[in-house]
């Protein structure tokens, strides 16, 4: 079980990284917001980079929990499961005030200056696309999408489009881009 101080720092760090980004996140502001002494921070994390990487791990664990819950729901057809995952993600963005995807935000901010973050975030996006590809393969086998489709490519395009829509959602502070992208994608790939 994760130590409660560490979890409190990670939870607050997620919120602060979404709002401020990595470069504007001050460790002292994080400590003040959580009421944590500096020594406790360095007991749990080697430095700011280590902290942010652990926040990414916690975030991607939440994403995968949502993916698993939606994509493994055999009560729904595969494309409906894909849609459900993204609808639930959109609801999470709304709850956070349309701050968008932590991975997308940090990827834009850090991928050009940190190989560690670039590789970590790309791995996270690839893992999401792989989970989606498995569900899209099921959709292909059931005839919901064309048998000629490359489901890996379709899954990567879906992640790419979603991230772009998440950025626009953040800029506009509303879900219109996310909803339009998801509707367009599902209509475009569905055979019926």
- List pLDDT tens digits, range 95-153: 888 788 999 999 999 999 999 999 999 999 999 999 999 999 999 999 999 999 999 99
Output the pLDDT for position 2.
Answer: 52
Domain at 180, CATH number: 1.10.357.10
The helix/strand/coil state of 101 is coil
Asked whether 125 and 159 are in contact (CB, 8 A), the reply is: yes
CB 70 within 8 A of CB 81: yes
- pLDDT-derived band at 182, boundaries 50, 70, 90: very high
Q: Are the C-beta atoms of residues 116 and 49 closer than 8 Å to each other?
A: yes
Question: Do residues 24 and 105 make contact, with C-beta atoms less than 8 angstroms apart?
Answer: no
pLDDT score at 1: 43
Q: Which domain does 184 fall in, by range? A: 4-189
Under DSSP, is residue 113 helix (H, G, I), strand (E, B) or coil? coil
Q: Is the pLDDT of residue 192 over 70?
A: no
Which residue from 78, 81, 128, 106 is spatially nearest to 14, judged by alpha carbons?
106
pTM of the model: 0.93
Are 26 and 52 in contact by the 8 Å Cβ rule? The answer is: no
Q: Do 171 and 105 touch, CB atoms closer than 8 A?
A: no
Number of domains in the chain: 1
Residue with tokens 């019926």, as numbered in its chain? 192
Task: Give residue-wise pLDDT tens across range 29-76.
Answer: 999 999 999 999 999 999 999 999 999 999 999 999 999 999 999 999
Question: What pLDDT was estimated at residue 118?
Answer: 96
């Amino acid at each position: 079980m994760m130590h409660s101080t560490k979890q409190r720092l990670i939870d607050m760090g997620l919120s602060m990284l979404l709002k401020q980004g990595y470069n504007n996140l001050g460790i002292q502001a994080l400590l003040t917001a959580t009421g944590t002494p500096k020594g406790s921070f360095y007991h749990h994390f080697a430095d700011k980079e280590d902290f942010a990487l652990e926040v990414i791990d916690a975030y991607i664990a939440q994403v995968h929990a949502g993916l698993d819950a939606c994509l493994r729901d055999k009560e729904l057809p595969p494309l409906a499961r894909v849609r459900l995952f993204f609808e639930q993600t959109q609801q999470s963005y709304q709850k956070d005030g349309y701050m968008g995807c932590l991975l997308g935000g940090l990827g834009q901010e850090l991928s050009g200056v940190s190989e560690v973050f670039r590789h970590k975030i790309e791995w996270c996006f690839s893992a999401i696309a792989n989970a989606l590809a498995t569900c899209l393969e099921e959709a292909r086998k059931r005839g919901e999408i064309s048998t000629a489709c490359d489901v890996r490519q379709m899954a990567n395009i879906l992640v790419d489009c979603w991230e772009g829509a998440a950025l626009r959602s953040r800029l506009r502070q509303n879900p219109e881009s996310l909803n339009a992208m998801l509707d367009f994608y599902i209509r475009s790939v569905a055979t019926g």
